[in-house]
Every structure is written in structure tokens, then in C-alpha cells.
Amino acid sequence: DAGVTQSPTHLIKTRGQQVTLRCSPISGHKSVSWYQQVLGQGPQFIFQYYEKEERGRGNFPDRFSARQFPNYSSELNVNALLLGDSALYLCASSPRTGANTEAFFGQGTRLTVV
Amino acid sequence: GESVGLHLPTLSVQEGDNSIINCAYSNSASDYFIWYKQESGKGPQFIIDIRSNMDKRQGQRVTVLLNKTVKHLSLQIAATQPGDSAVYFCAENHKGAQKLVFGQGTRLTINP
């Protein structure tokens, strides 16, 4: 069974540019969440989407946006990149929304902003 | 506020010994907890979870203990193997929230 897949695996961008990261959840899972993991720290919540609707948003600036498609895949978009946006971006897939729900992570996209 | 912290940033154990990784949480509303294992260059891997109506849950070679009185969570790994080397994170979720809150992580290293 395919797990959570993310693309690309690595990406290098210049300050001020825009980036789009993609995620395909586990088959049958309808919820996708995005996390940012800076080196040496735990993941920080950015967004959660369920049935194409935003269900949660973390403490990130409006430069960060996301959407979920009818097939439950998702994109994370970051505009006007800053050096501090360099991180591992993780997508987590869950069968449903709400508390007490297992979340399974993909391998992540390593974004480097130069 | 919400926070999940770990008592030790690093833990070194002998191969074959048992490992115990600890985690403290501050949000009394937290009612669901997950332990993740993250190897270098990979995403967090789900190990085991526990709900607040339980004190203990066992998996294959792993046991999670939850002490709600002192807001403490631990992960026990039996007969630690070289493949257990990784950073371990505890994460919490509380009723009504749509997110997991992670701690900083504990790096587990195995001595031969």
C-alpha cells in the first residue's frame, strides 16, 4: 500500500520566489495536514484540510496558503520566500478529522531558500 | 498555553537494554498522544498512540505509559536494537483541536 507521498523531495529557491509543494494522502484518507519542521525542532502545524475545507490553521503568516482537491490531494503554497522558510515540510494524512485521529506522515519536502 | 516538552534531548543505551524516553505536557485538555520515530532524512513514523482514558498501551516491543496526574508520558522500548536509533517525538492533541503539538524530540543512540 502506498503511504503518503510528497513532491518534490528537495527544492532550492531564491528569496522572494514562490513555491508549491504537493501531497497525496493514503488511499481512503480524507484529511491532510501540513507541518513545518525546522532543523533540530519538532514539526509545527501549518494547516489542516478535510473534505476540501480548511479545518485548522497554525500561527503562520498569510504568505502560506493551501488547498485540497476532490481526490483529497493537497498543495501548500508559500509566497515571497524568506530565508527562514528553509525547512522540511511535512504532509500528514488522516482517515478523518477531529481529535483522537492517527496521523501518518510523508517523507517531506526539503526546502532551501538562498 | 500548549507545550509538549521532553526531559532529555539525548539518550544513549546499550544494545539489548530497555530504553525509556520521557515527555511532559502542560495542556490538561490533551486527550490523545502519539509517539513518532524520525530517522535522518525521513518523515516521522507513527509508533504508538494512547488516549487519555488509558494508562498503558503495548505494541510490538514498545509500551506507552500515561500519567495524567503529573502530565507525563513515556515510551519504553524493549531490547533496544541498532535500528531503533532515531529522534523520538511525543505529540499531543486535545479535544476540539485539529493539530498535533510536538515536543523538541529525544535522540536515541545505541551503543554496541
Mean pLDDT of the region B11-27: 93
The closest of B41, B4, B38 to B24, measured between CA atoms, is B4
Structural domain including B50 reads 4-111
Share above pLDDT 70 across residues of chain B, in percent, rounded to a whole number: 90
For residue A16, what is the domain's CATH number?
Answer: 2.60.40.10
The closest of A83, A90, A17, A107 to B102, measured between CA atoms, is A90
Angle subtended at Cα A47 by Cα A45 and Cα A53, rounded to the nearest 5 degrees: 155
- Whether residue A98 has pLDDT greater than 80: no
Mean pLDDT of the region A32-59: 93
- Quote the CA–CA distance of B99 and A44 in Å, as a whole number: 9
Shortest Cα distance from A42 to chain B (angstroms)? 5
pLDDT tens digits for B56-89? Answer: 999 999 999 999 999 999 999 999 999 999 999 9
Give the C-alpha distances (Å, rounded to integers) separating A80 from A47, A74, A94, A112, B96: 18, 20, 30, 14, 32
Q: Name which of B44, B91, B96 is nearest A99 (Cβ-Cβ).
A: B96
Beta bridge partners of B32: B51, B93
The structural domain count of chain B equals 1
- Whether residue A32 has pLDDT greater than 80: yes
For residues A105 and A5, the answer to whether their CB atoms sit within 8 Å is: no
Band of pLDDT at residue A64, cut at 50, 70 and 90: very high
Beta bridge partners of A10: A110
Q: CB A43 to CB B89 under 8 A?
A: yes
- Chain A residues near residue B46 by CB distance under 8 angstroms: 102-105
Structural domain including A89 reads 5-113
Minimum mean pLDDT among A11-20, A48-57, B88-97: which range?
A: B88-97
- Whether residue B2 has pLDDT greater than 80: no
The structural domain count of chain A equals 1
For residue B13, what is the domain's CATH number?
Answer: 2.60.40.10
- Chain B residues near residue A56 by CB distance under 8 angstroms: 97-99
- Tell me which chain A residue has its CA closest to the CA of residue B44: A105
The residue among A101, A107, A112 with the most chain B CBs within 10 A of its CB, best to mutate, is A101
The answer for residues whose C-beta is within 8 angstroms of residue B5's C-beta and 6 or more apart is: B23, B24, B25, B26, B103, B104
Mean pLDDT of chain A: 93
Q: Give the model's pLDDT for residue B29.
A: 85
Looking at per-residue pLDDT, the higher value among B12 and B6 belongs to B12
Mean pLDDT of the region B98-109: 89
- Whether residue A50 has pLDDT greater than 50: yes
Q: CB B34 to CB A90 under 8 A?
A: no
- Chain A residues near residue B42 by CB distance under 8 angstroms: 107-108
Q: Is B37 an 8 Å CB contact of chain A? A: no
- Tell me which chain B residue has its CA closest to the CA of residue A104: B46
CB burial class (10 A; 0-12, 13-18, 19+) of residue A84? exposed
- Whether residue A55 has pLDDT greater than 80: yes
